[in-house]
Amino acid sequence: MKIAHINWIALPTAGGDAVHIGKLVKELRRLGATTEVFAGTRGALDAHYLEALDLLTQPRDEQRALEELLQAVKGFDVVQLHNSQFHRPAMTRRLIDGLLAQPRPPRLVHNMHCMTDAEEGWDVLRHRGLPIIAHSRYIADETRRRIPRAEIHEVFLSLTMSQSAYAFPTVSGKLILQPTRLSRWKGSAISLQAVLELLEAGREDFTFFHAGKDQRIFPTGLDEALLARVAPWQERGRIHFIHYSVEQSWEAIRQADFLLHPTIDGGSQGEPFSLAAAQTVMLGKPMIATDSGNLPIMLGGYGPKQIIPIQDVRALRDAISSWLDRGVPASTEADRALGESLRQGFLRSAEEHLHLYERLLGPGLSEVA
**Rounded mean pLDDT, 81-93:** 95
d(Cα 173, Cα 195) in Å, to the nearest integer?
A: 14
Contacts of 84 (CB under 8 A, 6+ apart): 6, 92, 96, 110, 111, 124, 125
**Strand order across the beta sheet in which 132-134 lies:** 48-49, 34-39, 2-6, 78-82, 107-112, 132-134, 152-154
Average pLDDT, the chain: 95
Q: 254: closest CA among 345, 159, 165, 346? A: 165
Q: Count of residues for the chain?
A: 369
Within 10 angstroms of residue 256's Cβ, the number of other Cβ atoms is 22
Report the percent of the chain where pLDDT is more than 90. Answer: 91
Is 165's pLDDT higher than 70? yes
Judged against a pLDDT cut of 50, whether residue 154 lies above it is answered with yes
Q: Please state, in angstroms and rounded to a whole number, the distance separating the CA atoms of residues 114 and 139.
A: 7
User: Nearest Cα to 193, choosing from 208, 214, 175, 173?
Assistant: 208
- Answer for the pair 297, 271: CB distance below 8 angstroms, yes or no: no
CATH of domain 174-344: 3.40.50.2000
d(CA 99, CA 103): 9
What are 224-266's pLDDT values in tens digits? 999 999 999 999 999 999 999 999 999 999 999 999 999 999 8
Q: What is the mean pLDDT of residues 124-131?
A: 97
User: Using CB atoms within 10 A of its CB, is residue 129 exposed (0-12), middle (13-18) or buried (19+)?
Assistant: exposed
CA atoms within 13 Å, Cβ hemisphere of 51: 13
**pLDDT attached to residue 300:** 95
Cα atoms in the Cβ-side hemisphere of radius 13 Å centred on 213: 9
pLDDT at 49 over 50: yes
Please state, in angstroms and rounded to a whole number, the distance separating the CA atoms of residues 188 and 199.
Answer: 16
Question: Rounded to a whole number, what is the distance in angstroms from the first to the last CA of the chain?
Answer: 5
Report the pLDDT value the prediction gives residue 294, as an integer from 0 to 100: 96
Task: Please check the confidence at residue 277 and state whether its pLDDT lies above 80.
Answer: yes
* Cα torsion 2, 350, 22, 32: sign: negative
Give the pLDDT confidence of 261-275 residue by residue, as tens digits. Answer: 999 998 888 999 999
Which whole number is the average pLDDT over 140-146?
96
- 324-361 residue pLDDT tens: 999 999 999 999 999 999 999 999 999 999 999 999 99
What are 289-324's pLDDT values in tens digits? 999 999 999 999 999 999 999 999 999 999 999 999
List of E strands, the chain: 2-6, 34-39, 48-49, 78-82, 107-112, 132-134, 152-154, 174-178, 206-210, 239-241, 258-261, 287-290, 305-308
Max CA pair span of the chain: 70
Residue 214's pLDDT is 83
pLDDT in tens, 182-219: 999 999 999 999 999 999 999 999 999 999 888 666 78
The residue ranking higher by pLDDT, 76 or 117, is 76
- Give the pLDDT confidence score for residue 363 in this predicted structure: 74
C-alpha 20/C-alpha 257 separation (Å) is 26
Q: What is the pLDDT of residue 13?
A: 86
Q: In CATH, which of 2.20.25.160, 2.40.50.140, 3.40.50.2000, 1.10.10.10 is domain 2-156+348-361?
A: 3.40.50.2000
| Identity of the residue numbered 55 | L
Give the confidence band of 364 by pLDDT, cuts at 50, 70, 90. low
**What confidence category does residue 367 fall into, taking pLDDT thresholds of 50, 70 and 90?**
low
Answer yes or no: are the C-beta atoms of 264 and 289 closer than 8 Å: no
Range(s) of the chain covered by CATH 3.40.50.2000: 2-156+348-361, 174-344
- pLDDT for the residue 369: 46
